[in-house]
Chain A
């Protein structure tokens, strides 16, 4: 039973355009969501997070949107750069717990 789903295993985007990575979750108790970026042979690196009291959080080129009614979040990267090419994982957690449930990742390729 996958509680956090990233249905697109891969995505290719032209440099300078917007990248949109999607994530769906099923557990309504989740109220904290994170995105991690992972390069080959490295560990996941924390990118951005959002609490369920917000519907948007922005950090430079990265914006995370949360739609609680749809149990959906997305990560927007604009403009996309070749250095953004990596695997992106979304993760979800419930208050009072410490467990993150990770999605299976989306491999983003930004074409120069």
Chain B
């Protein structure tokens, strides 16, 4: 089975530009998570979707960040406008059920650098 697929793997862009990160969860998984990993804060949950509906976006840093899940096989995380402090590795993860007591399976991440 294919795992969680994220694109692009690397993104380098200038401050102020719009950035869109993409994720395809594992087929049959109905929970999807976006995380951000930084040296200072480790792995932080940004937003959680269940059955394509955003359940908890309390981890989204500010209004510049938005996420969508138009269908069960695709999600995007958008940053507009981007800032240097957004530089991090962004992971998408998916799991079966409501996420409770189910391991989350991670993609390989997008390394984002904002100059």
Contact = CB atoms under 8 A, between A and B. Distances in A.
Contact of A104 (B4, B42, B107): B42
Interface string B30-50: 010100000000110100101
B108 A32 contact: no
Interface residues of B, number: 24
B107 to A, nearest CB: 5
A39 B100 CA distance: 25
B54 interface: no
Interface in A39-71: 41-46, 49, 51
B78 interface: no
Give 8 closest A-B pairs by Cβ, nearest first. Answer: A98-B99, A43-B106, A46-B103, A102-B43, A104-B42, A43-B108, A44-B106, A42-B108
B103 A98 contact: no
A97 B100 contact: yes
Contacts, number: 51
Interface of B: 4, 6, 31, 33, 42-43, 45, 48, 50, 55-56, 91, 93, 98-101, 103-109
Given A98-B98, A105-B42, A49 B103 contact: yes
A45 B106 contact: yes
A43 B107 CA distance: 5
B91 A43 contact: yes
A36 B56 CA distance: 23
